[in-house]
A = this chain, B = another copy of it.
């Protein structure tokens, strides 16, 4: 609306009849300002459409107002979900969201992270898997006293903010979804054993089997590694086994895709002959043919809350609650309708 030339604190101070320092205090939520003045200043600022000058703030306060998300995950869908959530939270509070890729392929990636931190002033860090599991990295960040948020960490850290889903419950929910649809002979394709979340999903699988009093002997457990290839291989294993599996729970979408392709090549119809569900709700899964029923986590909201809590921590210099669990949702599609 009213976008005049650039206003300064000075302008607000004059109009409100207070000192510039008081205005500054109001905008920083600093203590020791009478509520009455606070409201007055806020009112004037709103009327005039004042926006603080970030560079000046940075220069004077030696804060950067930059939060950085370190990732090493080729899944663009997941990343952009995180970025969007981060950005939303940041723009509310006048912070900047930056994303930086660290390739864990590169064995010195820890060094490049530390390099980055010393080179560029950063007020807070967000880590996503698999980096959120790297203790050495987390320790270095702690050492520098930089507030840190972990997204879906394998092990929750007291010293960080943790946002996550309950992987075991999610695995169980997915399994029960298959059972409800009449499948009694199931297969579980696991991910890498080193991946905590995968093990938890599997635990959920078995707990559903037990709770529904199905025969463990009717189940097939196939070891995969999250790759499409391993989903492919899993189907081979499956077709050689004597047990007549009708429902497959793949530990992630890539393996589900591999399994479906293998099934189609073998002349089977999905879902008529065999139903397959995945995990992650990836873009590939959505546009696969047939589209894959998959488990979705509210990654954008998770990133947003994680960022908000991180900013609170930075601004107030104290961390309150730091464990936040989010609900999951099954996206029902044609691969298991």
Contact = CB atoms under 8 A, between A and B. Distances in A.
A261 interface: yes
21 contacts: A3-B118, A3-B119, A51-B119, A53-B59, A54-B55, A54-B58, A55-B55, A55-B56, A55-B58, A55-B59, A56-B59, A59-B59, A76-B76, A76-B77, A76-B80, A76-B283, A228-B287, A261-B289, A264-B264, A284-B284, A284-B287
A330 B310 CA distance: 46
Interface string A35-53: 0000000000000000101
A66 to B, nearest CB: 10
Contacts of A284: 284, 287
Q: Which of A3, A53, A58, A289 has most B Cβ within 10 Å?
A: A289
A313 B188 CA distance: 58
Nearest to A76: B76
Contacts of A261: 289
A58 B6 CA distance: 14
Interface of A: 3, 51, 53-56, 58-59, 76-77, 80, 118-119, 228, 261, 264, 283-284, 287, 289
Contacts of A283: 76
The 3 lowest CB-CB distance pairs between A and B, nearest first, are A55-B58, A76-B76, A55-B59
A101 to B, nearest CB: 9
Contacts of A264: 264
A19 to B, nearest CB: 21
A51 to B, nearest CB: 7
Nearest to A115: B3
A228 B290 CA distance: 13
A281 to B, nearest CB: 15
Contacts of A3: 118-119
Contacts of A54: 55, 58
A68 to B, nearest CB: 13
A220 to B, nearest CB: 24
A159 to B, nearest CB: 25
A289 B231 CA distance: 13
A252 to B, nearest CB: 14
Contacts of A289: 261
Nearest to A100: B87
Nearest to A65: B55
Nearest to A228: B287
Contacts of A53: 59
Contacts of A287: 228, 284
A197 to B, nearest CB: 23
Nearest to A118: B3
Nearest to A119: B51
A6 B325 CA distance: 40
A287 B232 CA distance: 13
A61 to B, nearest CB: 10
